[in-house]
Amino acid sequence: MRRRLAIGLGLAALLARPGEAAPPAIGFRVLREGAEVGTHRVRFRDAAGLLEVASEVRVTVRLMGFTVYRYAHDTEEAWRGERLVSLDSRLEKNGTVTTSAARAEGAGLRLRGAAGEALLPAEAAPLTWWRAETLRPGVPLFDPRGGRAVMPRIERAARPGGVLVRVIGGEGAEVLYDAAGTWVGFATTGEDGSAVRYERA
């Protein structure tokens, strides 16, 4: 499932401030063609004004009792206000491991991964889905799985009680947030053409 089974959960009011509690953890069940194949969980921790976010995706697809697909993605992010301070990503897909890392560096963000190394603008953000404010036109984005900059088209549309964000191009997806900015839904297409969606756990 190349289409984004990657990281999760969000609140627009995610930005940790001294004295404020971190948002509660939220999780999803990952459904493929309506059948549960895994989970996606995100945990938040306030560390003296630094918001630490740990995302965990686990997906296993079985056919006739045999495992035909296994996906495990762990991402750790640290945000200070609206700026990403650091990110570490480890993806294991069918036994192959890929890592990437990002660090705030002066007026930019240094990104390193399988795709090489690049210095991105300071406001660059990862496609980890939990943060509604990230998915807006003009925000520089990168894929934490391979550590590469991406440039999808972002469309936002109001929905009753929230907003639907369409990510068009490359790893296309539809991401749903409620009125508070909390990540509440996700849909995409697997690399085998299967319908993949998230259901709140």
pLDDT tops 80 at residue 4: no
Q: What is the pTM of this model?
A: 0.87
pLDDT > 90: percent of the chain: 81
Express each pLDDT in 159-193 by its tens digit: 999 999 999 987 799 999 999 999 999 999 988 88
Express each pLDDT in 26-58 by its tens digit: 999 999 999 999 999 999 999 988 999 999 999
Domain boundaries, the chain: 12-200
Q: How far is CA 147 from CA 109, 163, 179, in A?
A: 12, 28, 31
Q: Which residues, other chains included, contact 163 with Cβ-Cβ below 8 Å and sequence gap of 6+?
A: 132, 156, 157, 176, 177
Buried-state track 179-189, b at ≥16 Cβ within 10 A, e below 16: eebbbbbbbbb
